[in-house]
Amino acid sequence: MSESTADIIHRGGCFCGAVTYQVTGKPLRSAYCHCTLCQRLHSCAFIHTIHFPAAAFSWTHAEPHEATIETYAVSTKPWKIRSRCKQCGCPVASHNTKLDKWSVWGGELERDEKGRIQGWEEIKPTAHMFYETRMLDINDELGKWAGYEGDSERLG
């Protein structure tokens, strides 16, 4: 019997485990982001970002959640409220208040005994977005987009 979308649960959290969350169902978008903001905020060339409707996201660590989460916004996107762990500093999620969507990052999701992200088939990236500002070329079969997949110029 196949699993319904509501039965799909992905769990994640920060490096030290003080902040945890879960998202349910299939994502609205899953892509490798090469934007300069992600590069700077996460200190990496690109990041696996996964977007979900707000109703699909919930914190799962002990309340009050504010005791372990620090929130902040950057001046260029004040509508995106970003959350990080107060203990280890790891960024864990962001809430887009304009669209009421949450973003989580693939690197923080639970892994199986071989180190692979659990439920990979449901959340694997479908594209590279903001590819014009990439730090390195990626030679894979995924589409390369100037912005969001399907909403911008396809670069490759």
Distance CA 136, CA 46 (A): 9
pLDDT value for 73: 95
Query: Does some domain include residue 124?
Result: yes
One-letter amino acid identity for 22? Answer: Q
pLDDT at res. 153: 95
- pLDDT tens digits in sequence order for the chain, 156 residues long: 345 666 899 999 999 999 999 999 999 999 999 999 888 888 899 999 999 999 999 999 999 999 999 999 999 999 999 999 999 999 999 999 999 999 999 999 999 999 999 999 999 999 999 999 999 999 999 999 999 999 999 999
What is the reported pLDDT for 6?
65
Give alpha helix (H) positions in 13-130. 36-42, 120-123
Domain with 125, as residue range(s), is 5-144
Position 151 in a domain? no
Instruction: Please say whether the beta carbons of 26 and 122 come within 8 A.
Output: yes
Whether residue 155 lies inside any domain: the answer is no
β-partners of residue 105 are 49
Supply the pTM of this predicted model. Answer: 0.91
153 within domain boundaries: no
Residue 41, pLDDT score? 86
In the chain, the number of structural domains is 1
Q: Is 154 a member of any domain?
A: no
Q: What is the CATH number of the domain that holds 137?
A: 2.170.150.70
Q: Is residue 127 part of a domain?
A: yes
Q: Is residue 63 part of a domain?
A: yes
The whole-number pLDDT of residue 14 equals 97
